[in-house]
Amino acid sequence: MTTPTWGDPAGPLTSAEFRAATQAIMANIEQVIEGKSATVRLAVAVMLAEGHLLIEDVPGVGKTKLAKALARSIDCSVRRIQFTPDLLPSDVTGVSVYNQETRDFEFKPGAVFANLVVGDEINRASPKTQSALLECMEERQVTVDGTTYELQAPFMVVATQNPIEMEGTYPLPEAQRDRFTARIAMGYPDPRAELAMLAGQNDHDPLNDLRAVTDAATVRRLIETARAVHAADAVQQYAIALVTATREAPEIRLGASPRCTLQLMRTAKAVAALEGRDYVLPDDLQALAVPVLAHRIIPTADAQLNRRTTDAIVAEIVHRLPLPQARTNPYDTRDGRAPYESRGR
């Protein structure tokens, strides 16, 4: 089966082509994931933002199924890594093996050499093995024995993990969490979606029926289209204000990094493109604040004793921070005037 292509393979995507391609990907995933349209949409937005996705929830709610459905919707190279306590860093990145015939070392690529890497239960591996992903997630490359190997674009890591309270888990290092663009939770399905799951998945797994609806080349064009979305100066300042507020909040010991600011804006552009807009609204940033910021911050000991979750802290920051208000249109920068001005709630 050949995957569909849109327009000139070498040219940019039109708005209609972008919508057709992204709608096809999301509809394909939703054949398997019942009643989770918002979650599926965010997963696709992270992909368009050239980011990485962390899916955290209790066992059995479809974390791995979402990751696999996204992978199977794209005709590209896919590798799955089952993270276990005995997994070695070389299993992830690769290893140099001595070839007796050539009397030289040959590099054997690890599982990370793929367009889409599915890391199942990433927090069951040791921190040393988890850290094997640091370079490839940030720099899209792998260095082994002093030699650097580039990873092919697009490159995305979709990792699942169980809550840290579960037995046999290791907490992800701060540097590792910061490289994940967004963290989402699947949650339990509502009764109607669970009933549909029983009817549709009783005798077979619909994941086996999924076919690719696009390819890696089209995904690269989708990424370029999303990257071209306009963000007004005041909207960018609002994104900076959201991230800065996490560094100044009294309940937070470690705030979000500048990398977070960049990823927040990239994801907001992807969300705007999925909504059919070529400009970012402050509403896009508000909707993304919790999934993009909450997993990066560390609350103080007092906040933890008071059972204050990072999600709740970020949601409170969003609520109290003034929104920018448009004075003209999102593109109007005549006379040096910012297109947005601050207003209270």
Q: What distances in angstroms separate CA 153 from CA 71, 215, 220, 251, 266, one per listed residue?
A: 14, 12, 7, 39, 17
C-alpha–C-alpha distance, residues 246 and 314, integer Å? 7
Give yes or no for residue 289 having a pLDDT over 80: yes
The span from the CA of 209 to the CA of 225, in Å, is 30
Q: What domains can you pick out in the chain, each with its CATH number?
A: 230-329 (1.10.8.80)
Q: Is residue 333 over pLDDT 90?
A: no
- Name the pairing type of β-strands 141-144 and 156-161: unpaired
DSSP element (H, E) containing 39: helix 37-48
pLDDT digits (tens, 9 = 90+) for 175-190: 899 999 999 988 887 8
Backbone angles phi, psi at 30, to 5 degrees: -70, -5
Examine the pLDDT at 332 and tell me if it is beyond 70: no
Residue with tokens 């990792």: 159
> How would DSSP label each residue in 55-118?
EE--TTSSHHHHHHHHHHTEES-EEEEE--TT--HHHHHEEEEEETTTTEEEEEE-TT-SSEEE
d(CA 107, CA 102): 13
- State the pTM of this model: 0.87
The number of beta carbons lying within 10 Å of the beta carbon of residue 145 is 9
The mean per-residue pLDDT over the stretch 143-172 comes to 84
Let me know: does 80 contact 92? Beta carbons within 8 Å. Answer: no
Mean pLDDT for 82-102 is: 89
98-102, 128-132, 180-184, 274-278: range with lowest mean pLDDT: 98-102
Query: Confidence class of residue 100 from pLDDT cuts 50, 70 and 90?
Result: confident
